[in-house]
Structure 1
C-alpha cells in the first residue's frame, strides 16, 4: 500500500495541463496573430529530399529514363499488378488494351499499351505520364508513390510482352498450357 501511494504521488498531469496553442489557432504573441511560424524558404521535410531523379522524376541526366531505377523482381511485378488492378484497370482494362469499364459509361477509350508506338516508349515516359497525367488522364503523383509507379510500369511491360509472344520463346514447361487454345 505504501509503494502504491508513492507511485501515485509521482503521477501528476502538469505536462497535459500546460498552456499551448493548437495549430492555426489565433495568438497575440506574434505580429501576424498566428500561432505557428511560416516555414523558412527552401525547407524540406525530413526524409523528403528526393535527389535521385531516376527514381523520383523518371529522368537520367535530364533525359527520359530508358531503364528502371532498381532491379525488377517477381515481387515488384506482383506489386505492380496489384497497383495496376486498382488504378489502371478501370480505364486501360485488365490486359492493357484500352478496353476498361469507362467505355461503358461513354468515356473515350484510352490508348492500348500494345500499340507499337506506345510499346516503344521508354519506362521514363510512362513514369512521367503517371506522375503528371495527360489529356483526360489525371495526375497520380499524390495517389501512387514513386516506387509503385515503377512497379506498375514493370507490370505494363510484362503485359506488353505477354500479348504477342511466339510459342518458341516460351519455356518448355509452359507449352502444354497452350494446347487446345
Structure 2
C-alpha cells in the first residue's frame, strides 16, 4: 500500500512532462508555409504599426532650445563624431570618406541648404536622405538639435552679413579684400 501512495504522485508528475512544450511548432526565417495563402511564413507588419523604439514625441518646426555656447560646443562635438567623416569639418562635403572614393554629400554652404528650415536638417539626421542612412538610433533628439545649431554656425561663419560685424572686424575685412 505504501508503494502505491508513492507511485501515484510520481505518475502524475511524469504525465505533466510532455515534450510538446519544449518542441513547439515554429518557422525558420523565410521558410515556406502552407498556413498562409501567399505561401510565406514571414509576415509583413500591419499597416500603421510603430517600431518599439520609435520616438513618438512631436518634432518642433523651429529650433526648440535657447542658443548657448554650451549647445554649440556640444553640436560641434557631435558633428565632428557623426557628420564630419562625410561632410568634412567645415561642412563643405569633402570629408575623409569622400577622399577615399565615396560620393560627396552636398555642401552646407549652398544657397538651397542655407535657406532650408532647421527642421530639414533635423529630419535628415533622423530619417536619412539619399545615400545617408538614419542616425536616429545613434544620435539622441537633443543632440540632433545641437548638430543643427552647429551647422547653422558653420553656414553663418562663411556668410555673415558685413553690416553685422563690429567696426574692427569690418576694417580687417576691408584690409583683406584690398590685398
Structure 2 residue runs without a partner (length 5+): 1-16, 23-48
Residues 1:110 and 2:75 are matched in the alignment: no
TM-score (norm 1): 0.62
Residues 1-43 of structure 1: CA distance to partner in whole angstroms, max 9, x if unpaired?
xxxxxxxxxxxxxxxxxxxxxxxxxxx9xx966xxxxxxxx9x
Of the three residues 119, 122, 129, the one matched with 1:134 is 129
Residues 1:53 and 2:48 are matched in the alignment: no
User: Which structure features the higher share of helix residues?
Assistant: 2
Structure 1 residue runs without a partner (length 5+): 1-27, 34-41, 60-64
1:94 to 1:49, Cα distance in 2 relative to 1, 3 A: closer
Where does residue 74 of structure 1 map in the other structure?
69
Where does residue 150 of structure 2 map in the other structure?
155
CA RMSD, 1 decimal: 3.2
Q: Structure 1 residue 169: deviation in Å?
A: 1.7
TM-score (norm 2): 0.63
Q: Structure 1 residue 138: deviation in Å?
A: 1.3
Q: Structure 1 residue 172: deviation in Å?
A: 4.0
1:168 to 1:87, Cα distance in 2 relative to 1, 3 A: same
Name which one, 1 or 2, has greater alpha-carbon Rg: 2
